[in-house]
Structures are given as C-alpha cells and as structure tokens.
C-alpha cells in the first residue's frame, strides 16, 4: 500500500475514533445528566420572569434543587439546540423528573394555576383588600368595583396576573350570571331591572347561608315589596352604618336613617350591600311562591317563617329562649 493511502486510512480511522468519542461523551451526558432522575424529592415551583436569560434560569433551577450543578443546564441546552425556547411563567416541576422533562415543561409555557376562593357575602372593599394583599398578583388596582359587581366563587389564575385583570374577570362573571338569571326570571316580580334584583340578592345572601332557605326568604321579601311593607332586614341597617364591617346591631341603629336602612326606608336600598352568590341571584329571580311575610332565626342556624305578625312574635320568643339556653342572652 502506498504511503499516501496508508496516511489517508489512518486519518479516517482517527477521525472515526474522534467522532465516536464525542458521540459517546454526549451519550453519557444525556444518560447520566439530561435523562436521569432529578435530585429534587418534592414538587418544586420555578418562576421564569420576563427577560430572564439562560444564566438566570440555571441559577433558579440550582436554587430550587432541580439540578445539582450549573453546567448540567448548559449541557442539556446544548443537546436540545434550537428546540428549547424557555417561556416566562411559574412552572410546577414534579418530584424527581429528569432535566429533559424540566426543559420540556418550561418550553411548553403552561404556567401553574393558582386558586383563589372568594366567600359569598363579601363587600367589594373586602374583596379589593384580598386581591391587594395577594403577592401573586401584580400592579395597582385602578378598576372601579361598585358594590355587588363581583361574583364570589373559586377562580384560577397564574402568578403575575394583574389585579385589575382578576377583578375584571369577577365583574364579567357577575354580569353573565345576572343576565342569564334575569332572562329566566319568574313573571310579575316587583323589580324592574337586573340591578334591582341584584340588590335583593345581596340582602338574601346576608340573611341566610342555608341554600334551602334562600328561595323562601326571597319569597318573603317579594311579598313585602308587593304589599308596600318595609323589608326590615338587619344586614341593611349595618351596611348603612359601617359599610357591613360586621359589628353587632344596636337598637339605636334601627332608627338611624340611611339610604340602606330598610327599617326606615320603603322598597329596596340604594345599592347592593354585598356581593351575592349565584344561588342568591337565582333565588331573587326565582323566589318561592309563599304566603309568608316574616322570618326570624331559630337560634340553631335555620329560620322560622310566619304568615302573621302574631305567629312571627311567637317565633321571636322561641329564638330568644334558644339564645338564653345557649347563654347568649340574660
């Protein structure tokens, strides 16, 4: 064999060995680092903020215990090439998943869904405080949130959602719920607009937490409105005094004239007194057909209803006796 040919064969052989060595090294990197189980034993939340580069992301993964060494991320990124483009967001990394899976999660950009539950009967001021105090939201609240304009329920959101966007979702949900209930309302109700129905729903919400009693309470209020009787609802009194912050009602409060005190004014209050649930909205627009005109607590979490004042007064005495037995009244 000629010297030139032997040299060429040696060169090809050496190149082949070099390529094989490189391929073997990358195979080892993939097997031992990229595709191996991760070191984290619990689910980890990783945040990639807008503008975060690879250097920041690898430090975030290291601090979160998702990778052991910084160069592990660099190696995985080189292996992935252009197929890996990190997205901003908050990502849930399951326990023990490989670095390859971690990068797939960040590349897909499906942010972790957080949960916020707003309890029925909160005022708009209370809901605004809840949103303002939650560090997973961003930005100031600039949106106008009138009383009764926010639907209480469970909402899911991602870290970094603006506070105005969250409140806007609640308003849109309330508008949709009220419109659907109004379209399916019972005939001949004593309120002319969806807004008036919302006011009554807010009163129902604070009068009872029992879903079985809501429609009956609504029926009582509808009967009183039709007869021109005052609603005489304690929650309206307190809302007019302190915005519904929850203090005990006093006898003097009942005579205090406000735009909400239904012991003094006739008809509905000026505005809703809280943010009612869908159940209370449905009750206001589909009230029970009843002859009852009164109700009072039974002292055990329920209500007693009555058609006449005499019957109602007996129920009031029963309520006071129940309070005495419970040590709540002298």
Tokens linked to 88 = 């901003």
**148 in Cβ contact with 202 (< 8 Å):** yes
Indicate the DSSP class of residue 138.
Answer: B
Contacts of 109 (CB under 8 A, 6+ apart): 87, 88, 89
Question: Going by DSSP bridges, is the β-strand pair 154-158/294-297 parallel, antiparallel, or unpaired?
Answer: unpaired
- Report domain extents, the chain: 35-111, 114-175, 188-325
pTM flag (> 0.75): yes
Q: pLDDT in tens for each of the 330 residues of the chain?
A: 555 545 444 544 444 444 444 445 455 556 667 788 888 889 988 899 888 999 999 999 999 998 888 888 888 888 888 888 999 989 998 998 898 899 899 999 889 999 999 999 999 999 999 999 999 999 999 999 999 999 999 999 999 999 999 999 999 999 999 999 999 999 999 999 999 999 999 999 999 988 889 999 999 999 999 999 999 999 999 888 877 666 677 777 788 889 999 999 999 999 999 999 999 999 999 999 999 999 998 888 889 999 999 999 999 998 888 777 766 665
Tokens linked to 255 = 């005579």
H helices of 33-145, where? Answer: 54-63, 70-80, 99-108, 124-133
CATH class of 35-111: alpha beta
Contacts of 30 (CB under 8 A, 6+ apart): 79
Q: Cα(289)–Cα(128) distance, rounded to whole angstroms? A: 37
Nearest to residue 161, comparing CAs of 87, 110, 89, 109? 89
């Amino acid at each position: 064999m000629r010297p030139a040919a032997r040299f060429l064969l040696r060169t090809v052989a050496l190149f082949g060995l070099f390529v094989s060595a490189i391929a073997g090294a990358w195979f080892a990197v993939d097997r031992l680092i990229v595709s191996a189980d991760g070191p984290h034993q619990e689910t980890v939340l990783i945040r990639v903020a807008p503008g975060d580069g690879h250097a920041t992301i690898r430090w975030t993964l290291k601090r979160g215990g998702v990778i052991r060494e910084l160069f592990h991320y660099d190696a995985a990124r080189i292996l992935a090439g252009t197929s890996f483009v990190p997205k901003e967001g908050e990502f849930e990394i399951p326990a023990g998943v490989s670095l390859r899976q971690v990068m797939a999660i960040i590349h897909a950009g499906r942010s972790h869904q957080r949960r916020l539950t707003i309890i029925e009967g909160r005022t708009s001021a209370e809901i605004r405080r809840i949103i303002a105090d939650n560090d997973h939201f961003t930005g100031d609240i600039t949106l106008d949130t009138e009383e009764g304009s926010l639907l209480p329920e469970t909402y899911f959101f991602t870290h970094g959602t603006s506070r105005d966007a969250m409140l806007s979702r609640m308003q849109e949900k309330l508008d949709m719920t009220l419109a659907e209930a109004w379209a399916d309302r019972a005939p001949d109700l004593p309120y002319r607009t969806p807004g008036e129905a919302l006011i009554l729903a807010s009163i129902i919400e604070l009068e009872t937490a029992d879903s079985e009693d809501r429609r009956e309470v609504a029926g009582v209020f509808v009967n009183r409105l039709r007869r021109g009787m005052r609603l005489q609802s304690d929650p309206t009194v307190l809302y007019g005094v302190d915005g519904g912050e929850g203090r005990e009602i006093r006898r003097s409060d009942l005579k205090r004239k406000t735009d909400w005190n239904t012991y003094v004014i006739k008809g509905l209050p000026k505005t809703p007194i809280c943010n009612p649930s869908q159940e209370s909205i449905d009750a206001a627009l589909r009230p029970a057909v009843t002859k009852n005109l009164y109700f009072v607590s039974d002292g055990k979490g329920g209500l007693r209803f009555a058609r006449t004042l005499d019957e109602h007064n007996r129920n009031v005495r029963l309520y006071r006796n129940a309070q005495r037995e419970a040590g709540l009244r002298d």
